[in-house]
A = this chain, B = another copy of it.
Amino acid sequence: MTTKAVQAYLQEHHDRFLAELTDWLKIPSVSTSAEYAGEMRRAAAWVQEKFESIGFPVVEIMPTAGHPLVYAEWTAHPGQPTLLIYGHYDVQPAEPLEAWLSPPFDPAIRDGNIYARGSVDDKGQVMLVLAALEAWSRAGCGMPINVKVILEGEEETGGESIAAWVRSGTDRLRADAVLICDTHMIGEKQPSLITGLRGILYTEITAYGAARDLHSGSYGGVAPNPIHALCLLISRLKGEDGVIRIPELAAELRPAPADEKEFWNSDPLKLEEALCREMGVETLVGEDKYPPLERIGARPTLEVHGIRGGFTDPGIKTVIPAEATAKVSLRLPAGLKPEEVFTWLEKAVRHCSPAGHRIEVTRLNGGEGLVVSPENPFIRAAAEAIETTYGEKPVFMREGGSIPVAALFDQVLQVPVILMGFGLPDDGPHGPNEKLSLAQFKKGMATVADFLGRLRQ
């Protein structure tokens, strides 16, 4: 049980925690672009100082082939369980900048939210964990359990360095459970805990036609058109019905457990209505024979994230371009290996490519999915901590997002991975005007502090 002193400390220092988060959000730690390498180092150094000020006896910036890992350790309690906490200090690119109501790296508070790139994904959620750790450290109670924290800077760009670190089998990994605060709840009044994550395979598909750009007047009718080829290919890989036409993938899909299926079908959360409202659309799109919760959490998806080819400036140009390219990902139910799915995709692309074009698929990134059993003491403690703060029992559900490192912790450490996120569905991570609810920020730190206390034996 957490003490009153810890919760009082969180109340008392709340405004400073928000100010610290604001400072951190001002650092544009965009990991996908080399031009921000210096900002990545600043963001790592910022959190290193924060760990030191909390009182962690071990704090280290670990260089990698990519962006550094930040590690902190406080393991003074033999006999107590050890919790490994994961988060990331890198953020998505902020483009398109013109769509932001306030600048992405100049945090603004409006309507009870803080708006900035990284506010919910993931600096805000790391900050509420840091606040909970500081409260235990400084409120006079001492850290209740052994804590290790690992923060990476490549979550938005493949996570290769942390994957290598987890696979390294270092002693620093040894823990009884992993806590990740990088997901969202159904709503502020309906808390939830994630018991499943989809895996991901992210690729780039490029179509090539003639050796050079052509004039459509002279060659239209006989020339290969790589844009058209991509359109044909993509429409063959997934039809309007939302069904992915990769036979090996279809053959691997298993029906969901009956109890989950029943929960999804009952749609207790009125999710269809909520999703339409969040997206600003009238109907959902996709495999309509599956309920929305199943489509988002358990079915595979194939999405095109970007496409580019030919002349796209304002005005007119009658060109047939020599190439066109698209970014295509697959979200994968737990148990599927991205490497294997990639070979299936390559085969499907060969099979579906229109004649007269050369089409290449490149694998940019991949990570496996995860299913967590709700039957373990760490998940139960997390659920109780949530109920204490929110006054409502959390529902257990699968989320559609992918956190490849979560699956990796699961495989390598073989301990429960607690996915306790405090985002809300309309936070818009990865898009413009990303935000974090200030109420969730506050409840999040109270919940994590409570959770830490509950783990003490």
Does chain B have a CB within 8 A of A62?
no
Interface range on chain A (Cβ under 8 Å from partner): 35 or more
Q: Mark A412-456, 1 if CB is under 8 A from B, else 0.
A: 000000000000010011111100000000000000000000000
A window 200-216: CB within 8 A of B: 200, 202, 209-216
Least CB separation from A296: chain B residue = B221
Chain B residues whose C-beta falls within 8 Å of the C-beta of A93 in the assembled complex: 311, 313, 315, 317
Q: How far is the CA of A220 from the CA of B231 in the complex (A)?
A: 19
Chain B residues whose C-beta falls within 8 Å of the C-beta of A311 in the assembled complex: 93, 95, 305-306, 327
CB of A206 to closest CB in B, whole Å: 12
Q: How far is the CA of A33 from the CA of B213 in the complex (A)?
A: 20
Chain B residues whose C-beta falls within 8 Å of the C-beta of A433 in the assembled complex: 212
Q: How far is the CA of A32 from the CA of B218 in the complex (A)?
A: 21
CB of A70 to closest CB in B, whole Å: 22
Quick check: B281 and A209 within 8 Å, CB to CB? yes
Quick check: B303 and A216 within 8 Å, CB to CB? yes
Quick check: A325 and B312 within 8 Å, CB to CB? yes
Q: How far is the CA of A219 from the CA of B215 in the complex (A)?
A: 40
Quick check: A331 and B281 within 8 Å, CB to CB? no
Chain B residues whose C-beta falls within 8 Å of the C-beta of A280 in the assembled complex: 210-212
Does chain B have a CB within 8 A of A283?
yes
Chain B residues whose C-beta falls within 8 Å of the C-beta of A200 in the assembled complex: 217, 318
A window 155-169: CB within 8 A of B: 156-158
Does chain B have a CB within 8 A of A361?
no
Least CB separation from A217: chain B residue = B401
Does chain B have a CB within 8 A of A385?
no
Q: How far is the CA of A364 from the CA of B312 in the complex (A)?
A: 13
Quick check: A317 and B224 within 8 Å, CB to CB? no
Given contacts A202-B316, A279-B214, contact A295 B222 (CB under 8 A): yes
A window 305-354: CB within 8 A of B: 305-321, 324-327, 329, 331, 354
Quick check: B428 and A212 within 8 Å, CB to CB? yes
CB of A201 to closest CB in B, whole Å: 11
Chain B residues whose C-beta falls within 8 Å of the C-beta of A19 in the assembled complex: none
- Among the stretches A53-61, A104-112, A140-148, A233-241, the one at the interface with B is A233-241
A window 1-40: CB within 8 A of B: 32-33
Interface centre among A225, A299, A316 (most CB of B within 10 A): A316
Does chain B have a CB within 8 A of A76?
no
Chain B residues whose C-beta falls within 8 Å of the C-beta of A215 in the assembled complex: 401, 428-431
Quick check: A304 and B227 within 8 Å, CB to CB? yes
Given contacts A211-B279, A306-B309, A431-B213, contact A365 B218 (CB under 8 A): no
Beyond A218-B296, A221-B331, 9 extra complex contacts between A and B, CB < 8 Å: A200-B318, A209-B281, A209-B285, A212-B432, A218-B399, A218-B425, A219-B296, A222-B296, A305-B320
Question: Which of A's residues lie within 8 Å of B, judged by CB?
Answer: 32-33, 92-93, 95, 99, 156-158, 184, 198, 200, 202, 209-225, 227-228, 230-232, 234-236, 238-240, 242, 275, 279-287, 292, 295-296, 299, 301, 303-321, 324-327, 329, 331, 354-357, 364-365, 399-402, 425, 428-433
Q: Which 6 A-B pairs have the closest CB atoms?
A: A217-B401, A211-B280, A306-B310, A213-B431, A32-B315, A221-B295
- 28 residue pairs of the A-B complex, CB under 8 angstroms, read A93-B317, A184-B218, A212-B280, A215-B401, A215-B428, A218-B401, A220-B296, A221-B287, A221-B292, A221-B299, A223-B284, A228-B303, A231-B232, A231-B235, A231-B307, A235-B235, A285-B355, A285-B356, A303-B318, A304-B309, A305-B319, A306-B317, A306-B319, A308-B308, A315-B364, A316-B365, A318-B430, A319-B430
